[in-house]
Chains A and B, each alone.
Chain A
Amino acid sequence: MGVFLAFDVILFYIFFELTLVPLFFLIGIWGGPERRHAARKFFIYTLTGSVVFFLALLAVVVVCYHHPAEGNKVLTFAIPDLVRIVNVNLQDPAPAARAFWQSFQFWVFLAMFAGFAIKVPLFPLHTWLPLAHVEAPTAGSVILAGVLLKMGTYGFLRLALPLTPDACISVGLPLVGVLSVIGIIYGALCALAQDDFKKLVAYSSVSHLGFCMLGMFALNSAGLTGSLLQMINHGLSTGGLFLLVGMLYERYHTRRIADYGGMGTKLKLLSFCMVFICLSSIGLPGLNGFVGETLVFFGMFDVRPVLAIVGTAGILLGAWYLMTLLKSVFFGPLKEPEHEGHGLIFDLNGREIATLAPIMALCLFLGLYPQPVIDVAKVDLDVVADIIKARQKMTIEQSPLAENH
């Protein structure tokens, strides 16, 4: 929580790193058979990224110290101040200053990209995620999906976009755009091919966060709003899916999709919740996924229509793999895995209903009436959108073409 609350870069970094430790132990001690390998891989990946990103933060602080916006040189670590200083300096029309800030932004962006893209995770850096998810206990997976991955996307939104707007436009948009579309399609195809349902949910996570990043790097108001909604949606629906999958696993102690069949007749409530959450994850209108995805594609379509069109294929694939999962596990003739020695199998109990109820209620609420969330977030998302817009305008004015006129 501290990460989301922090408005000081050092504080942000401290909280960012602190979350690594408990999750490392969650996976390493309570995880599945390959937990040690998974925990180590998770730790090394995210730590490498964040060290690079920490250097970038320090660079920003030092450079801002030498280029104060007004008056005295003050070493500031506050995010709002840094954003202001950087953007005041970006308006400096002198060619030398411009060249310096352009290349500075480029490197800072790359470093932040390294830190956050691993966390998100974007396509080529995602390999730690399915492993960590599969080995982690259910609660670990829920927190990993719902909170930890959001730190990556939130980092992009809070730091990378406002601190390096030019680099986001020139490098970020094509790079992240293409990588997220690949991630959407690749994640969905991998999910389709899984025979382990926890892995399926993990790969669907890669696919969904692709949508999130796609919207963010549309760099306009619609895209950013969609991206934020998609962060929340993903937390709710993927969190919900992990909970349900965990409940099923607790009952039968197997995760192979092929072992199950016709659970709908045996576990009625669990199946109802599963269908509900799956539909929300697919993006059925009236549930939460729809609103976010629509806004993401509206945003992206204005900037790079091709990316948006290819991305929509991910929705189709999403429906495909989740429906396949539902069909083979919950419908059709009843087929129970071996479960001797685990006692009788009961439907959801009160505790499990209490676990799922708030998530399902929020899914429904966000699907039917997302306006309050959008309104509140708009003020601050517009700050980011305005910074980008100002830079885009400036870049056009300063291009050689404009000078000739």
Chain B
Amino acid sequence: MDLNRILLLALLAVPAVSAVVVAFLGKRLASAIRWISFGVTVFNLVVALVVMLNFLTLSRAETQPENMVVTFRPEMVPGADPNDRHKTTWKLLDFGKLGAVQFFIGIDGINLWLIVLTAVLMFSSVLISWKAIQERTNEY
């Protein structure tokens, strides 16, 4: 699995893991909690920017086959199907022959910018809450 795919997973996993960690830290560690959250948002921002740069250099010139109905073609799909990099083989809920609910994530030109936007706003949100939130810091 190449770097981009790992980065995409990290984008989802790191905030989730850090949220659990923070929840278990005691109340007295408020400043540590702030710094962890800050670190995570900085990390996410950096990862989002790296993914953006990699996506920009990605060649997407491949044309859709003729007389086929057009559809979305996500890139950087984790667990990509070796025959078709726009599909994933990872399954969440397997219904056997019927099919499966897949863990299917990816990046295309539409959601790329929303990801960057989210990362920037998360960064700002943690910073703005630095002083304003004094009680119950963990959950926050």
Q: Is A344 an interface residue (CB 8 A)?
A: no
A-B contact count (CB 8 A): 196
Q: Tell me whether B111 and A5 are in contact (CB under 8 A).
A: yes
User: Secondary structure at chain A's binding surface: helix, strand, loop or mixed?
Assistant: helix
Q: Tell me whether A243 and B128 are in contact (CB under 8 A).
A: yes
Q: Tell me whether B72 and A83 are in contact (CB under 8 A).
A: yes
* Alpha-carbon distance A122/B62, docked complex (angstroms): 37
How far in angstroms is the closest Cβ of chain A from B20? 13
Q: Tell me whether A383 and B106 are in contact (CB under 8 A).
A: no
* A138-B128, A235-B121 known; A150+B114 contact, CB < 8 A: yes
Q: Is B25 an interface residue (CB 8 A)?
A: no
Q: Tell me whether B130 and A351 are in contact (CB under 8 A).
A: yes
Within 8 A of B (CB), among A370-390: 372-373, 376-381, 383, 386-387, 390
* CB nearest to B126 among chain A residues: A139
Q: Is A2 an interface residue (CB 8 A)?
A: yes
* Alpha-carbon distance A158/B106, docked complex (angstroms): 13
* Alpha-carbon distance A42/B128, docked complex (angstroms): 23
Q: Tell me whether B111 and A362 are in contact (CB under 8 A).
A: no
Q: Tell me whether B12 and A1 are in contact (CB under 8 A).
A: yes
Q: Tell me whether B106 and A358 are in contact (CB under 8 A).
A: no
Q: Tell me whether B120 and A362 are in contact (CB under 8 A).
A: yes
Q: Tell me whether B102 and A8 are in contact (CB under 8 A).
A: yes
How far in angstroms is the closest Cβ of chain B from A388? 11
Within 8 A of A (CB), among B102-134: 102-115, 117-133
A351 contact set on B, CB distance < 8 A? 127, 130
Hey, what's the 0/1 contact readout for B22-63 against A, CB within 8 Å counting as 1? 000000000000000000000011000000000110001000
Q: Is B1 an interface residue (CB 8 A)?
A: no
Hey, what's the 0/1 contact readout for A1-19 against B, CB within 8 Å counting as 1? 1101111101100000000
* CB nearest to A1 among chain B residues: B118
Q: Tell me whether A354 and B127 are in contact (CB under 8 A).
A: yes
How far in angstroms is the closest Cβ of chain A from B84? 10
A162 contact set on B, CB distance < 8 A? 71-72
* CB nearest to A138 among chain B residues: B128
Q: Tell me whether A11 and B105 are in contact (CB under 8 A).
A: yes
Which of B98, B102, B135 counts the most A-chain CB atoms under 10 A from its CB?
B102
* CB nearest to A79 among chain B residues: B72
* Alpha-carbon distance A346/B56, docked complex (angstroms): 42
* CB nearest to A382 among chain B residues: B70
Which of A355, A356, A387 counts the most B-chain CB atoms under 10 A from its CB?
A355
Q: Tell me whether B120 and A80 are in contact (CB under 8 A).
A: no
User: In the complex, which of the residues B68, B77, B120, B131 contacts A359, with contact meaning CB atoms closer than 8 Å?
Assistant: B120
B100 contact set on A, CB distance < 8 A? 75, 77
A383 contact set on B, CB distance < 8 A? 70-73
Q: Tell me whether A231 and B114 are in contact (CB under 8 A).
A: yes
How far in angstroms is the closest Cβ of chain A from B90? 10
User: In the complex, which of the residues A157, A355, A376 contacts B124, with contact meaning CB atoms closer than 8 Å?
Assistant: A355
* CB nearest to B76 among chain A residues: A5
* CB nearest to B111 among chain A residues: A4
* Alpha-carbon distance A26/B128, docked complex (angstroms): 14
Q: Tell me whether A142 and B74 are in contact (CB under 8 A).
A: no
Q: Tell me whether B118 and A358 are in contact (CB under 8 A).
A: no
How far in angstroms is the closest Cβ of chain B from A345? 14
B129 contact set on A, CB distance < 8 A? 137-139
Which of A69, A76, A378 counts the most B-chain CB atoms under 10 A from its CB?
A76
* A80-B71, A243-B128 known; A146+B118 contact, CB < 8 A: yes
* Alpha-carbon distance A76/B88, docked complex (angstroms): 12
A132 contact set on B, CB distance < 8 A? none
Q: Tell me whether B126 and A4 are in contact (CB under 8 A).
A: no
How far in angstroms is the closest Cβ of chain B from A75? 3
* Alpha-carbon distance A235/B86, docked complex (angstroms): 29
Q: Is A275 an interface residue (CB 8 A)?
A: no
* CB nearest to A387 among chain B residues: B70
B56 contact set on A, CB distance < 8 A? 372, 376
* A29-B139, A75-B98, A146-B117 known; A381+B106 contact, CB < 8 A: no
Within 8 A of B (CB), among A304-352: 351-352
Q: Is B3 an interface residue (CB 8 A)?
A: no
User: In the complex, which of the residues A10, A146, A377 contacts B113, with contact meaning CB atoms closer than 8 Å?
Assistant: A377
Across the A-B interface, give the 10 residue pairs with the lowest CB-CB distance, nearest first: A75-B99, A8-B104, A139-B125, A377-B109, A5-B105, A380-B109, A355-B127, A146-B121, A4-B111, A87-B69
Q: List 10 A-B contacts (CB under 8 A).
A: A5-B105, A6-B105, A8-B101, A78-B87, A80-B71, A139-B129, A236-B117, A250-B132, A352-B128, A380-B109
Known: A8-B92, A376-B109. 7 other contacts (CB 8 A): A77-B99, A138-B132, A354-B127, A376-B113, A377-B109, A383-B70, A386-B70
